[in-house]
Amino acid sequence: MVKINLSIQPYENCPRFDKCQKNRCPLHPNYRKLKNDPTDPSQKNGRRKCVAKSIRKRIGLAFGLKNEGMTDREYSGAKKWAELPEDVKKQRIERLKGFSPLSRCISKGLSVSRKKTKQVQITQVKEINAPLTHPIKCNSNGDEVKK
């Protein structure tokens, strides 16, 4: 967890502050007035990875920043999401679950477990009390791939 020191600037509370060279930091109080440097070689398509949004948001809320430590795009998306009715949010979340190949495998009765190597092992469950069978592979449609 990031410790927030209110006696220094918000962007100085960022865990990547010492290494970051970002010209337009969302944790800067004048974020909207800052401009990207087009000659910056580390700038790829105008975007660079920043610290996680959850950390920036926590710092931004502690300092009362207008954009809550988020980029313009993140802030407008969060604002639109907050204005949606709960039933629409649930529908969209359910629809997104269908895009994941892992979700499709699970919905077809396949069990998914992660190994220490962070590879995903998918095994088919025949019965509740039966042992797991050999590992199988699923394609992007969630269908079993035969060897």
| pTM of the entire predicted model | 0.58
Give the list of residues 6+ apart from residue 141 with CB closer than 8 angstroms, or none. Answer: 101, 104
Residue 79: predicted pLDDT:
93
Q: What is the pLDDT of residues 53-89, one digit of tens each?
A: 888 899 989 999 988 888 888 999 999 999 999 999 9
Residue 76: predicted pLDDT:
92
Nearest to 142 by CA among 119, 114, 109: 109
User: Are the C-beta atoms of residues 60 and 67 closer than 8 Å to each other?
Assistant: yes
Separation between Cα atoms, residue 145 and residue 147, nearest integer Å: 7
| Per-residue pLDDT band at 143 (split at 50, 70, 90) | low
Residue 71: predicted pLDDT:
87
**Domain residue ranges in the chain:** 10-83, 101-145
First-to-last CA distance in the chain? 46
Residue 104 or residue 59, greater confidence: 59
What is the bridge-based pairing of β-strands 144-145 and 110-114? unpaired
When computed from its CA atoms, the radius of gyration of the chain, rounded to whole angstroms, is 22
Q: Alpha helices of 1-135 — where are they, by DSSP H?
A: 53-63, 72-83, 86-97, 101-107
Residue 21 or residue 15, greater confidence: 15
Q: What is the pLDDT of residues 17-49, one digit of tens each?
A: 888 777 788 888 888 888 877 776 556 554 556
Residue 29 DSSP label: T
